[in-house]
Structure 1
Amino acid sequence: MAFENILTARENGITTITINRPTKLNALNKETIQELHQAFETAGNDPETKVIVITGSGEKAFVAGADISEFANFSVEEGAQLAAHGQEILFDFVQNLRKPVIAAVNGFALGGGLELAMACHIRVASDNAKMGLPEVSLGVIPGYGGTQRLPQLVGKGKAMEMIMTAGMVAAEEAKQYGLVNHVVAQTELLDFCYGIAQKIRRNSPVAISQAIKAVNANYEDGVNGYTTEIKAFGKCFGTEDFKEGTTAFLEKRKAAFSGN
């Protein structure tokens, strides 16, 4: 599928999605959000894709925010609809995708860019990366899940500080607070992410999808995460991957998972 604002490539079971708007520092506009939805949906349904890596083109930015010119004149109703639609088709969609998504944060991840990275399951930052939610400096708040996911990752106090000051944190500080898992040199960023992806793809795709569902359940209102875990655990016993995994363990060999 041909896109205007993103690039996709698959190799060794890993699909890489690159936001490709370098002159706009990869800012998210409506068209890019829609294309990202399509790319994630396609990769999610692709049996050959085991892990997804998302990054930005160039060396300056992962995503330096949203395209403000698109919504500067919106009404109250239009603003609410913008947030609701974006959360549904991209940010919540990525979080709940049954395949692991790794964010390779190569530079600035601001506003919607940080919100996209936080929706991913794993985050790795280049050592020059800077992250923040500057929305209050524009008279608005984060609208793509930032007020919810940031406290989950860094704690309420630090999240309040970051949101209310509209400030940025450098990569090492982001790692200190748990906002990113790893910090590496920019030249090593994608290879490092692919290394994590290769470790993931050795394991059962079915079990991984159930693990994502169970972990996410802990953050859903009205959902008992322990109950979700119990049900997901039980489902695994009815899969071919469970039979292969346990048999391979008992036979002292590496498992060859089918994803069924």
Structure 2
Amino acid sequence: MSAENGNISIANDANGVTTISFFHPAQNSLPSELLKQLADAIFNAGNDPETKVIVLKSGGDRTFCAGASFEELLQIKDKEAGARFFEGFSNVISACRKCPKIIIGRVQGKAVGGGVGLAAAADYCFASEAASIKLSELTIGIGPFVIAPAVIRKIGLSAFSQLTIKATDFQTAQWARQNGLYNEVYEDVQALDVAVYELAEKLASYNPAALIALKQVLWEGTADWDDLLKERAAISGELVLSEFTQQALHSFFNNKSK
């Protein structure tokens, strides 16, 4: 893909750390094609015998991930297309869940909607102080249904309820750490990167069989998620066609163009 349409990049170091990075110029919002490439990259790294641990990150400094591509949401004309679109995020979450390698998340900036889901799908997540989070889906007439299982698994139902219902409010990186989404928070990106790669290199030196067994333990109780996430994608795919959501999306783009 061209830089205008975003890209996925993969880098491997000599010690077995594979870094998967996604980028889109619209605040790292992710259209379907990028989501597919991201899921494929995670799947392939998980099955690469040379990869011992994965770092998942995004490009740029300000926003980790702004969630779904609103431009693509506006192009959805039927429930089937809507379900397919929302399955993009569910496929990335599933790729993280099924990946036999430990995934370290590196969240350098704000995470909104699906971006919170990506952070939750990591096995261990580092963030910067700038990495505030928000689930704003209710404001456009849908909900964070696809990512909910992954987020609730990390922060619990009470914190998820707060995050979802207070849909216009950002919660701080420290709030996210206190509630279990982030494991560690650093003052700036430089300190963040040092911590991410120190842990990645350390994990890469451990017994691979033990890491694989640990990954299975970490994701116990999620065997039904393939069906669950598909059902949730169908809910969102239908809601996106509602008059409320269509008006909200058009209003967003009208205000953006002024």
**TM-score (structure 1 length as normaliser):** 0.78
Task: Give the superposition deviation at 1:131.
Answer: 1.1
Partner of 2:32: 30
Compute the RMSD of aligned alpha carbons. Answer: 2.1
Q: 1:124 to 1:174 in 2, by over 3 A?
A: same
**d(CA) in 2 for partners of 1:60, 1:20:** 12
Partner of 1:14: 17
Partner of 2:137: 135
Greater length-normalized contact order (CA 8 Å, ≥ 6 residues apart) = 2
Counterpart pick for 2:67 among 59, 65, 79: 65
Aligned residue for 2:171, secondary structure, equals strand
8 Å contact 2:116–2:151 — kept in the other structure?
no
**d(CA) in 1 for partners of 2:59, 2:113:** 17
Equivalent residues in 2 for 1:116-155 (5 A)? 116-145=118-147, 147-155=148-156
Q: 1:43 to 1:2 in 2, by over 3 A?
A: farther
Partner of 1:79: 82
Which amino acid counterpart does residue 32 of structure 1 have in structure 2? Answer: L
Task: Give the superposition deviation at 1:188.
Answer: 1.7
Q: Which has the larger radius of gyration?
A: 1
Which amino acid counterpart does residue 84 of structure 1 have in structure 2? Answer: E
Q: How many percent identity over aligned positions?
A: 31
Unmatched segments (≥5 aa) in structure 2: 226-258
Q: 1:42 to 1:220 in 2, by over 3 A?
A: closer
Task: Give the superposition deviation at 1:178.
Answer: 1.1
1:213 aligns with 2:216: yes
Moved over 6 A (4+): none
For these two proteins, the number of residue pairs brought into alignment is: 219
Which amino acid counterpart does residue 161 of structure 1 have in structure 2? Answer: Q
Q: 1:183 to 1:210 in 2, by over 3 A?
A: same
8 Å contact 1:51–1:99 — kept in the other structure?
yes
**TM-score (structure 2 length as normaliser):** 0.78
Partner of 1:194: 197
Equivalent residues in 2 for 1:167-178 (5 A)? 167-178=169-180
Which amino acid counterpart does residue 13 of structure 1 have in structure 2? Answer: G
Q: 1:156 to 1:14 in 2, by over 3 A?
A: same
